[in-house]
Amino acid sequence: MQYLNEDIWFPDVNKASPEGLLAVGGDLCVERLLLAYKTGIFPWFDTEEPFLWWAPDPRFVLFPEKLKVSKSMKQIMRNNEFIITLNKDFEQVITECSKAKRIGQSGTWITDSMANAYIKLHKLGYAKSVEVWQDKKLVAGLYGIDLNNGVFCGESMFTKVSNASKVGFISFIQNTNYKLIDCQLHTNHLESLGAEEISREAFLKFL
């Protein structure tokens, strides 16, 4: 594991630990974050931890053509209960994601510094948000990084209404032309939608 300073660089991802931890330290400047995503690395740390950078093997991804939509979900989407928008309220989406309670986590990894960094990326056109509205209220959403190479790196999502985040996620995939959605780490929720594990080497080829 490497310790980073103010210089913008990362060690070879093959030097990551078995758990995927590659480096510690550095900062969350735009240049470093873009370099990280373009080389298969992402930041993930709790509020009281230093900056931690990860490059897990295997990588959890979703190929859009393998997206699974259940019959019940198709019916929900046909009901037009929700309105889906893109990049309408990025800051509110990331704020709601930071407040979402997650199993096994006492705090949030979306710290103020993390949120501010991604808001900068959004203003530069790299970070995108999907909003799900019901009765003019934001009830779900997700955000991530668009690498402009056909890969979207999903970062986080939240929901306040049953199935709302699934509707947003499915609609986003069905109405965009990405060749790969990077889900980073395994979750049962995304596996049910068709996400799968591939090797880190295979993932890097897509980048």
Whole-model pTM: value is 0.93
Torsion (CA) 20, 49, 185, 35 in degrees, nearest 10 = -70
Q: H-type helices in the chain, by residue range?
A: 30-38, 71-78, 90-99, 112-123, 164-174, 188-191, 200-206
* Segment 95-147, tens digit of pLDDT: 999 988 654 444 457 888 999 999 999 999 999 999 999 999 999 999 999 99
How are beta strands 2-4 and 21-25 bridged, if at all? Answer: parallel
Query: What are the domain boundaries of the chain?
Result: 2-57, 60-206
Alpha-helical segments (H) within 112-163 = 112-123
Instruction: Compare 183 and 103 and report the one with higher pLDDT.
Output: 183
What pLDDT sits at residue 49?
82
197, 196, 192: which is closest to 73 by C-alpha? Answer: 192
pLDDT at res. 12: 97
Q: Provide the pLDDT confidence category of residue 3 given band limits of 50, 70 and 90.
A: very high
pLDDT the model gives residue 107: 46
pLDDT value at position 108?
57
Structural class in CATH, domain 60-206: alpha beta
48-69 pLDDT per residue, tens: 789 999 999 999 999 999 999 9
CA distance from start to end of the chain = 23
pLDDT attached to residue 135 = 96
Q: Which of 10-24, 57-71, 99-113, 167-181 has the lowest mean pLDDT?
A: 99-113
Write down the pLDDT at residue 103: 47
Average confidence score pLDDT of the chain: 94
Share of the chain above pLDDT 90, in %: 88
Residue range 190-207: average pLDDT? 96
d(CA 180, CA 185): 14
Which CATH number is 2-57 given? 3.30.70.3550
